[in-house]
Structure 1
């Protein structure tokens, strides 16, 4: 098996060179931001109480803004997840009578509860915000017909999510959508769920006219170092609204003590382009190897990537469950855990998750999750080191 993998690696030399080129260019953008804002060791120190005058927190947010090409950003330990960051952004931007229009179909399961598509104690629907959806993957959308006076936010999910009906969007494709949308209604706010997409390409959605993005630090931009936290980046007026919701009106970004967070957030961002590159090389190898051994995968190894996720179609529940268990077995943490399907209120169906990770739920680390329904597609993502992904892949193939 090792010899077979080595031959596959040889065939991927050019693909790996492209990933390394993107990684280096993203790293340059990050380190130049660090140098511009003169990060000091004292910027890592904790703040207390109200968190006023936290210069390290302010520098971190300025660096995120520069790296993502935005006017402002909110990078906080108090943001619990990517879904929380998205929820803050939507609740902060929208008011009674406004409409959200999702153009990438139904959003991820947890966001359905935020919008009010599924029962939840608090939803945007409760505040008089309406929702519609169209799906650009099912044919051309005529924005002159679908945009209304009350349409305040266009919602775009960059990553594929739990469906084959939606593929991951490239940032330049998002940029083309922004042009079409703004030509019809220039005051509409374009929001992108950027989870899993940061540093995969040489740019971000906000470099192409997107007004605001959100994501998690336990995914790409935390570099496997940040143990919690999330970010929102975009127009200054929108970030002011989001920060007023996270803390309170009148305090906004000025408050919020950061404890045991800033050093990890700075270091995670610094390492993020490299770690994402490692994940991309490993996922590219996985795509090539699994396809050559009979699996249906998407995207294929030689297609442009917009995120760190590989879809794998198993066709049978038992085959999917075995693959998930093997990912768990060849992980550094909880390698002896026995996986069981679970059903939680925030997911629409029974799912399985394999994540022997140093940080709970970290999907920049090698992990695998899947809804347990036909056609039994699982999603392999992340990997802090190429060596771990290669090691796991070799051993999984030996067993299946």
Structure 2
């Protein structure tokens, strides 16, 4: 069989395609391995939590005894290796979800420190960075501060440790995605380094990660 039964492609290009595909074979195998592992992890979570046809039934009203929702959240917690999870259609977007977490953890008088510079535009209004919008964190008396990124766009670990040592922060906030800026998105290794730095200086500080586009 040949692709040229359908398309008139130069044989030199087909040869180059074959050579490049062979060079990438190990990388493709690694990706396939990750895919298979995660698929099995999800299937195991479904089995462990007893997902059945009854969990797929629709629900109305307040969702009391919504077995499907409860099981789905248990599945998600197991898949992510978390203590618990919220996974609901009520969260209309990422910013809404982040806002729920922020308002759920922070109280008037608390301080939060963003470790990755200025967060992207949609969350600044929730925090009240530029102005104290009605209903924002700033309006509730929550104090926001941030450490600036280094010239290469990476988090400044030394500045973060200094800031945490100088004051008591309820939350350390990490934004993985570059958002609308030109800085690099954070790798898992960098996030781990940030978490270690926070816990080294301020063990009681809650770490919140906006892990947008980060799973699997």
TM-score norm. by structure 1 comes to 0.46
Q: Is 1:196 matched with 2:199?
A: no
What secondary structure does 2:172 align onto?
strand
Residues 161 and 10 of structure 1, relative CA distance in 2, 3 Å threshold: farther
Pair 138,176 (structure 1): closer, same or farther in 2 beyond 3 Å: closer
- In 1: Cα distance, 2:37 partner to 2:194 partner: 25
Structure label with greater radius of gyration: 2
Tell me the residue number matched to 1:160.
Answer: 178
The corresponding residue for 2:44 is 32
Which residue number in structure 2 is paired with residue 83 of structure 1?
95
- CA apart distance, 1:42: 1.0
**Are the aligned partners of 1:100 and 1:130 in contact in 2 as well (CA < 8 Å)?**
yes
The CA deviation at 1:102 is: 0.8
Q: CA RMSD in A?
A: 2.1
Q: Is 1:132 the counterpart of 2:132 in the alignment?
A: no
| Structure-1 residue corresponding to 2:17 | 6
Q: Which residue of 2 aligns with 1:18?
A: 30
SS in 2 for 1:78: coil
Looking at both structures, which has the greater relative contact order when contacts are Cα pairs under 8 Å and sequence separation is at least 6? Answer: 1
Alpha-carbon displacement from aligned partner over 1:220-257 (angstroms, at most 9, x marks no partner): xxxxxxxxxxxxxxxxxxxxxxxxxxxxxxxxxxxxxx
Contact 2:161 2:201 in 1 (8 A): yes
- 2:148 counterpart of 1:169: no
Residue 26 of structure 1 and its aligned partner are, at CA, apart by 1.5
- What are the superposed Cα offsets for residues 317-338 of structure 1, whole Å, 9 maximum, x if unpaired? xxxxxxxxxxxxxxxxxxxxxx
Q: Verify the 8 A CA contact 2:74 2:84 in the aligned structure 1.
A: yes
CA shift for structure 1 position 121: 4.4
Q: Specify the SS of the correspondent of 1:114.
A: helix
> Do the aligned residues in 2 keep the contact of 1:134 with 1:141 (CA within 8 Å)?
no
After the TM superposition, which residues 272-287 of structure 1 pair with which residues of structure 2 at under 5 Å, given as runs?
A: none
Deviation at 1:65, TM superposition (A): 0.8
Distance 1:50 1:28, change over 3 A: same
Output aligned runs, 1:223-372, within 5 Å.
none
Superposition deviation, residue 162 in structure 1: 2.1
User: Is there any run of 5+ residues in structure 1 with no aligned partner, and where?
Assistant: 200-400
1:238 maps to none
Instruction: Give 1 or 2: higher strand fraction.
Output: 1
Q: Does 1:186 align with 2:213?
A: no
Residue 144 of structure 1: how far off its partner (Å): 3.8
Unmatched 5+ stretches in structure 2: 1-8
Shift of residue 107 of structure 1? 1.0
In structure 2, the residue matched to 1:67 is 79
Cα displacement string for residues 325-359 of structure 1 (whole angstroms, at most 9, x for unaligned residues) = xxxxxxxxxxxxxxxxxxxxxxxxxxxxxxxxxxx
| In 1: Cα distance, 2:156 partner to 2:167 partner | 23
Cα deviation, residue 190, structure 1: 0.4
Displaced runs of 4 or more, over 6 A: none
TM-score w.r.t. the length of structure 2 is 0.83
